[in-house]
Structure 1
């Protein structure tokens, strides 16, 4: 046997890695919307294993479909796991094909788990003296470790031998089953013994022995040194049956009749034709190049359409990244040389390393630069851990760099460069001359293909896994800040950021230039807007903290009152925040109708369910009020005062350009987009957004912008006419649909027409409209039919947009932004219908987003041209609204100017109308 297997034998827990890759890596898709991220993660791991260990024998083991013997033993086994998402299930079959085509043995054994197959093979190897490596992320496998068997986790780059098991769990491998039996396992829903945690389990196992020995010596537990030892024996006795059941569930079966000899697990030759076909379909271009000749690659490239070019992995043209070429700058001479090279470079990537993600609190620790592909520089200025080497003075470096960074020549490239611009502003550097932001380039190319952080982009476009911050700084409470990180480690991480940014720029610009209009969208809207947003973020908004404190008190009283009313109606007190208790009250005690179920089959208490129930029942209506006020209190009235910056006395939000699929901006810390406007309490919160003395708040809002865009896109004569004449469009629609004169339209008819107008924009069905208007579906359908009869251009536009989306895989805004719809041709009817609704709405939402962005750029340019710059600041952007703080004597003049600039920043077939309000606070102004 020793002669036939060249150790180690490698056994891979394919199911463990499949789930971890799916949940831990960015959600990648190919140009056809096929999910590929989990496949990429697992195949990458398999390739690393072969490279690192050079095995001759290897098996990849997956769980089979359906139940296992453990489900028969305990029906609740793994019951708390949600159903496998379709996005993951669809990746299993192609992954299995790749595993086999790579030459590995694929094992899928029915009625047992992958763990049992691996356990059986590992024990077989151990008996024959063959060193076996089990590649898994599953802690249960620690029970298999012995002198021949080791665990490795390629995702965390750790391994575990016998000593490693004791170091991690506190008990040897022989007691891991007992450990799991006592402590339980939430992941697999193994119950264990309630009240037994890590410390008590380890104390009992080391002090007495395994589960059997503990139950033979319950009286000895009280003598052990752990909290609760005196009463533990009674608890153990009470849950004996559960502990023994848990032991059985946690035990990996190691004696399956597999009919598999270890020698049969030899790695075969790759099946290159099959791999070529699979890698081409999945668009893994670098791996495709490895299994293809030049002729095949040329054919594949020729066959890929433009959508594929926009979203595919462009890594085949990228050299392997060599971190040996990174240089750390310590001396003034080195820095002078670097500065000279930066000055003469055509363009360069820049990145700052800091102590915080909060741009208002962040302190500079270092700068990294790259201007030649494959090399990068790190300039440390504030690593201050004990024993840190001497570095250049931060103030000196900043003074040296200031002229370069403030130079308006378009040379700087960054990844999320707005953050760097904000940090540098704290050091009196106004970063200018921004050529490109790779985050925004990826977002413009395809907003839905991937997340747009550097780690995700590097993986997708360069096939390179970057060093993550958690790898060098740790996680959670133990995470250290960048200034505390060892300089050798920090330099490689920081220089890689600049190097990757430069490489991404080359890859993304190439892809953008192949697609009409996308480079202009990036360069004319997104990149200039980034600087406008940075300015707004640095300015911040003034908050009346005393007003919010009073509102918090008022809300607390109202919440308490509502809670009392709910308890009275329910006939008992219960925790309104507990889903289980609420389910019991609503659906068991009060027997309200179940409208929807959770994935686990329990009655849903989600917002839309309560909304529907609230139409007929008082209790759900009160619970909705309770939830709304609680959220308002926790999110805004309690939190906003704590977010006031001590240096500026203002609140500074973060605007995000690369999050929503449609191009809309979003904001966090605080989220300004979600402050309710239709409730009294929400409007009260807006009253706390104020102007400083001598200034007023001005809020300028586009009126009915999405309906106007619908008129422009559909070219419907009726809608165009209504807007051209300045009619009340909802009233005009009501007159058409209900066959009335404009003067005769009732408020109720106008309300129905408004629901139809906005419903159609969001792709609402007759069923949805009926629900909203509280009328039968056939009446709602009749309204819609009448609407399309009067506005036929709208129906034509909707149908052609849907069809175009199915053919191209995307829709576009008026300004050429592409909004990809990966599920427009999905086999799942619900997902396809959702994509079709999005196809109708996305061009309007996306165009509205483009318009407000253009308006912000135009208004900002005007503000910069003013001689008296302290007379106006832009403080917020919320949906279709811009909010300003303007000096009182300039309010009327500037408001007229802002209105004109916003209305004229783009030209559509209908006039844009801006309504501006003025007040001492945001509520008064809107």
Structure 2
């Protein structure tokens, strides 16, 4: 009987990878737990995959290693471990110890060296599995040692190393030594990158062979081959040093033998305490049910125990059987595989669905690679699915179904019956979680590492589109998407159901918004290519003039886009005082620094103007024409529901939310957004909505009365704070009052207000004190909100959306205060987001039912933008005011400003 493999886990590799890959989870007390969840999930996965094998987890020790003695700058550029990760290291160690697993930390060497040594000892008697995400470990692979990456679900043996790197394992050290490693600061040979290193190793052999045959280097088919030999000769010592640094030490003197790597007894009581402290409810339940940290085999509720049974459907009878299942299902998971991420251009090449966990199918019809097997026809599959997909009474589940709705529209299918969306379920449950994509959610809620697209399609310029991927790889990937979506829904839905207010946000705001956004995206906005081209030309002239002016002020030419050169000009040559430094100690040339310096020095002002115009040109006037769809002649942005923590929508390609409007040049970009001939642009905008929400939430009588009387709120505030009659308020006093009004709802301090108004901190504080004297309800609201947030760990919008505040009880004062500022502002921003979303839903419903020739074409901040037939403008305006002002019932009226014009700028 073959010996069971020894499993060696590269704990340090997984620690960083889990930290960066997973959502930023925290407990209610503010303890970060994302990396803990990720690392322990991966160890649990290994336990499941190798149930009877000994498993040891190895971590890097603190302090220097022998490599630091070889090369003083080894890993010198690595930033210190982030505090959020540092605080998770000890809990990980504690859990591993409580699981009864050997945990190794050896001084003077790295985890790689300990793993290499143990692998070399063990491979004589048994196979070795090294679980890591570190490419350097590929040098250890041989007929007895295999690498496993549980994050990407990949296994790498000798053939796998050659497939991935183009060279066998025995040349990996040479590969790393030649091209160097920026992360570890291994120098390598200057001028030798990945392609050149591969050419040398494949064409000549090892580093030793290369230096013995430098005359052959010039014959290689590689860029700069003629001069490469001299570069190698000049860097011989550097290459030899790099080889030493890259070599994993396999003869570390360890004070333990392989017998010590047998697992000890699990301390279930200690594990239970740790899981409860870290709020890992699923793992607590597992322990309580089975007395084990692992999912009990008899535990039918554990998602980790679902066995996958995936089918690639290429026969009509099998497809008919699945259609029967879909028709009889209460809910089915559905997903499309397409040729592109551009929803206007994408074509569907296959569809997948699942009805029960672990049971899923992929039906391909558009895979057209050479020797692709026979598939059902597109007409047959989509023709049969169309009535089902368009039936509003047939419930569908998906992950980001808005995308699927858009691409199905390219095939003349209108997706209806969107009943559930796991991306939105996750987002509504906790919008502060950094990722709501399926891969992250599967790992977080199911402990499952999904097949990643890059695993089957490759990366970069050579990445395949889905129609080019072989069915034996495409099938499991696509079917898994549907299966995992269904399983995720079964995990997320009960969690959501525990909170009626969250169910309401999900069912009444987010889900109904999906088809609305899909329509807006596909409607698109008409943009004048000629106007943008003209503006680009004019901006280029202004940018050139600013560059010349900057050179004059600097006393000579320099690269305005280089922070280093700019810093030398400002702080060395011109001897301007240094206000702030970068983390590395260099004088900062960040925007906020230049803004402050621009008050006293001309060059920083010119640099700011240059940067502003250069960004306008590159981001908008040059870029927008490239985004015009060749078929529609319009720009089609993508709206994202599950990004901003407050509930606000964001957009990309282009980002409509960030088009600058504070400068004439920025506003001019909106002039290029035009109406079709015979139509007008109508822009409807909520007036001072967040201040109105503040009045409602605080119940402050002074604010409420000012809004009820329809007063200019900033003028009214100025009159109160500065003690003058409203008619005597100066423009400067009104500006200051506006800064106070908005500053306080964003949690601005006296210091921040002073900087904005260019006054002293004490004077700014006196303004704030006067404000709170006149509006005591606002102060009371702020104090109560801080306390409530600290107690609950979250705040809520008017409609029940929760905004979690993981740092609200942080020990670090700065982080806690930042969380308190968010606690005050988030209910206002979040309520404003909910109101505009509710307005979009009602306006869209009106447009769908009415006979008006009008389209919703954009949503930006608190504004809806429509394109309407000229003779129907008045009717639409009246309806917009009624619908938008009725989107919420506040203690003060919601005011809607409506503008009309031939362009967005005119209408705004």
Query: Normalising to structure 2: TM-score of the pair?
Result: 0.93
User: Residues 504-523 of structure 1 correspond to what in structure 2 (within 5 A)?
Assistant: 504-523=488-507
Correspondence for 1:117: 114
Correspondence for 2:619: 635
Correspondence for 1:440: 424
Unaligned runs of 5+ in 1: 298-313
Do the aligned partners of residues 174 and 876 (structure 1) sit closer, same or farther apart at CA in structure 2, a change above 3 Å counting?
closer
User: Residues 156-235 of structure 1 correspond to what in structure 2 (within 5 A)?
Assistant: 156-158=152-154, 176-198=172-194, 200-201=196-197, 227-235=223-231
Alignment check: 8 A CA contact 2:10 2:131 kept: yes
1:253 Cα deviation (Å)?
4.0
Correspondence for 2:602: 618
Residue 875 of structure 1 pairs with residue 857 of structure 2: yes
**Which of 422-431 and 875-884 deviates more?**
422-431
CA distance in 2, matches of 1:205, 1:862: 67
Residue 104 of structure 2, aligned match among 90, 103, 107 = 107
CA distance in 1, matches of 2:692, 2:529: 39
CA distance in 2, matches of 1:530, 1:206: 52
1:238 Cα deviation (Å)?
4.0
CA distance in 1, matches of 2:362, 2:145: 42
Residue 87 of structure 1 pairs with residue 51 of structure 2: no
Residue 571 of structure 1 pairs with residue 567 of structure 2: no
Residue 905 of structure 1 pairs with residue 883 of structure 2: no
Correspondence for 2:296: none
Alignment check: 8 A CA contact 2:153 2:449 kept: no
Residue 780 of structure 1 pairs with residue 764 of structure 2: yes
1:780 Cα deviation (Å)?
0.5
Alignment check: 8 A CA contact 1:10 1:133 kept: yes
Residue 17 of structure 1, aligned match among 14, 25, 34 = 14
CA distance in 1, matches of 2:212, 2:548: 52
Residue 267 of structure 1 pairs with residue 263 of structure 2: yes
CA distance in 2, matches of 1:249, 1:295: 45
Alignment check: 8 A CA contact 1:83 1:599 kept: no
SS at match of 1:196: coil
CA distance in 1, matches of 2:875, 2:167: 77
CA distance in 1, matches of 2:878, 2:26: 47
SS at match of 1:23: helix
1:586 Cα deviation (Å)?
3.1
1:416 Cα deviation (Å)?
1.2
Correspondence for 2:459: 475
Correspondence for 1:301: none
Correspondence for 1:859: 843
1:269 Cα deviation (Å)?
2.2
Alignment check: 8 A CA contact 1:166 1:172 kept: yes
Do the aligned partners of residues 376 and 679 (structure 1) sit closer, same or farther apart at CA in structure 2, a change above 3 Å counting?
same
Aligned length: 903
**Which of 547-556 and 639-648 deviates more?**
639-648
Alignment check: 8 A CA contact 2:682 2:866 kept: yes
**Which of 233-242 and 767-776 deviates more?**
233-242
CA distance in 2, matches of 1:167, 1:646: 39
SS at match of 1:291: helix
Residue 527 of structure 1, aligned match among 488, 491, 511 = 511
**Which of 519-528 and 478-487 deviates more?**
478-487
CA distance in 1, matches of 2:215, 2:847: 81
Alignment check: 8 A CA contact 1:183 1:201 kept: yes
CA distance in 1, matches of 2:227, 2:518: 60
1:662 Cα deviation (Å)?
0.3
Alignment check: 8 A CA contact 1:82 1:600 kept: no
Alignment check: 8 A CA contact 2:795 2:804 kept: yes
Correspondence for 1:601: 585
Alignment check: 8 A CA contact 1:150 1:160 kept: yes
1:362 Cα deviation (Å)?
1.2
User: Residues 266-305 of structure 1 correspond to what in structure 2 (within 5 A)?
Assistant: 266-293=262-289
CA distance in 2, matches of 1:507, 1:282: 19
1:44 Cα deviation (Å)?
3.0
Alignment check: 8 A CA contact 1:438 1:508 kept: yes
Do the aligned partners of residues 195 and 468 (structure 1) sit closer, same or farther apart at CA in structure 2, a change above 3 Å counting?
closer
1:440 Cα deviation (Å)?
1.5
SS at match of 2:389: helix
Correspondence for 1:841: 825
1:747 Cα deviation (Å)?
0.6
**Which of 276-285 and 417-426 deviates more?**
276-285
User: Residues 484-503 of structure 1 correspond to what in structure 2 (within 5 A)?
Assistant: 484-503=468-487
Do the aligned partners of residues 835 and 316 (structure 1) sit closer, same or farther apart at CA in structure 2, a change above 3 Å counting?
farther
Residue 717 of structure 2, aligned match among 719, 733, 743 = 733
**Which of 526-535 and 688-697 deviates more?**
526-535
Correspondence for 2:690: 706
Alignment check: 8 A CA contact 1:129 1:148 kept: no
SS at match of 1:689: coil
1:96 Cα deviation (Å)?
1.0
After superposition, give the CA deviation of every residue in 1:610-669 in whole Å (9 maximum; x if it has no partner).
222323322222222222212211111111111111221111111111110001011111
Residue 365 of structure 2, aligned match among 381, 394, 408 = 381
1:585 Cα deviation (Å)?
2.9
Do the aligned partners of residues 323 and 221 (structure 1) sit closer, same or farther apart at CA in structure 2, a change above 3 Å counting?
closer
CA distance in 2, matches of 1:690, 1:800: 47
**Which of 622-631 and 687-696 deviates more?**
622-631
1:882 Cα deviation (Å)?
0.7
Correspondence for 1:63: 60
CA distance in 2, matches of 1:228, 1:731: 69
After superposition, give the CA deviation of every residue in 1:765-819 in whole Å (9 maximum; x if it has no partner).
0000001011111110111011111111100000100110011011011111111
Residue 705 of structure 2, aligned match among 691, 706, 721 = 721
CA distance in 1, matches of 2:844, 2:219: 74
1:738 Cα deviation (Å)?
0.8
Correspondence for 1:137: 133
Residue 804 of structure 1, aligned match among 788, 793, 807 = 788
SS at match of 2:596: helix
Do the aligned partners of residues 206 and 495 (structure 1) sit closer, same or farther apart at CA in structure 2, a change above 3 Å counting?
closer
Unaligned runs of 5+ in 2: 294-298
SS at match of 1:103: coil
CA distance in 2, matches of 1:466, 1:71: 38
CA RMSD of aligned residues (A): 2.9
Residue 824 of structure 1 pairs with residue 837 of structure 2: no
Residue 562 of structure 1 pairs with residue 549 of structure 2: no
1:437 Cα deviation (Å)?
2.0
Residue 679 of structure 2, aligned match among 659, 682, 695 = 695
Do the aligned partners of residues 496 and 32 (structure 1) sit closer, same or farther apart at CA in structure 2, a change above 3 Å counting?
farther
Alignment check: 8 A CA contact 1:351 1:369 kept: yes
SS at match of 2:658: coil
Correspondence for 1:651: 635
Correspondence for 1:923: 905
After superposition, give the CA deviation of every residue in 1:894-913 in whole Å (9 maximum; x if it has no partner).
21221122112221000111
CA distance in 2, matches of 1:453, 1:107: 34
**Which of 259-268 and 185-194 deviates more?**
259-268
After superposition, give the CA deviation of every residue in 1:481-528 in whole Å (9 maximum; x if it has no partner).
222223343333333323333333333222222113221221111111
Residue 415 of structure 2, aligned match among 431, 434, 445 = 431
Alignment check: 8 A CA contact 1:286 1:463 kept: no
**Which of 784-793 and 260-269 deviates more?**
260-269
Alignment check: 8 A CA contact 2:457 2:466 kept: yes
